[in-house]
Amino acid sequence: MKTFVLSTLSEEDVIRLEKDCNLAVRLQPDAGRIDPRALMDGDQAAYLLRDLTDRLGSPSLYVTASLLLKQYSYCLLMPTLYAMTLLDKGLKVEADNCLLEVTFPGDGAWRARLHLKDREVSSPEGSDRATWREGLVEAVFRNHLAKVIRTVSRVSGLSPTVLWENASIYFYWMYEAYMPGKVGEDKRSRIAEDFHFLLSAHPSLFGERKNPLKRFFCEKCCLPGCDQPVRIRKTCCLYCEIGDGQLCQTCPKRRCR
C-alpha cells in the first residue's frame, strides 16, 4: 500500500536546505562534477581516485578514499536526513538524480556540495510515517551510500569499516548537536525518535550484515585539551597522513583520561 504523497520541494525548503545543508541549488559553471554512478563502477572510481589523489597531493589512494567518503557522506546525508527529520520530506537521492559539485580553492583543499536534478519529494501519508521513513533510509544507505563505499573500498584497498565510520560521525553530529540547535524544544522529540530508529534499524536497510551506525556508537569521554566530552573513533580516518600530521580530536590514537 502506498504510504506517501509526491510533491515538489517548495522554494522555502530549497532556501533552507541551501543555507543549513549546503545543498547546491544551482551548479557553478566552472566547478567539477562527480556522478555517483561513476563511484559505483570500479574502473571509473579508480580513475576518479587517482585524479583526486593528484589534485589533493594525497600520499596514497586509501588516504584519498577516506577523504572522499568524508565529503561524500556529509554532502549526501546532511540534506537527506535533515529533510526527513525536520521537514518530513523525502528527497530523491537515487544515484541518477544526484551530482556532487566539487571545487578546488587551492593548497590541497577542496569543497563539495550535493545537487539534485529533480526536486520531487515524498511526504508521509496519514500516520504511516514509519514505513515511509524505512523507504528513505533504504534509498540513501542501501541503494546509494553502501554501493559507493563497497566500490571505493575495493579499488583503493581501504577497509569499508573506515568509510562507514566516516559516514557515522556526521550522522551522530547531525542528530546530537546540529539539528537540535535548529529547532525549538517542542520539535526535538522527532529528532530523538529518528535518531533512535536509525541506531536500531535492521542491517538490511544499510545493505550490511550489521547496522553500521550502531556499530560505531559509544559513550563520549574526556580528553586533555578538549572542552567537551568527545566520542573516540574506532578507526583512524587517516587525515593525520596529510598536512601537518596532527591527530583529530576523536582519533583512536589518543587516550581517554
Q: How far is CA 36 from CA 18, 62, 90, in A?
A: 20, 19, 19
pLDDT of residue 252: 83
User: Residues in the chain with pLDDT < 70?
Assistant: 1-3, 254-257
Residue ranges of alpha helices (H) inside the chain are 11-21, 42-56, 61-82, 129-137, 146-156, 160-173, 188-200, 212-215
- What does the angle CA 97 – CA 100 – CA 103 come to, to the nearest 5 degrees? 155
pLDDT of residue 250: 83
Query: C-alpha cell of 158?
Result: 581501504
Cα 98–Cα 102–Cα 107 angle in degrees, nearest 5: 160
pLDDT at position 150:
98
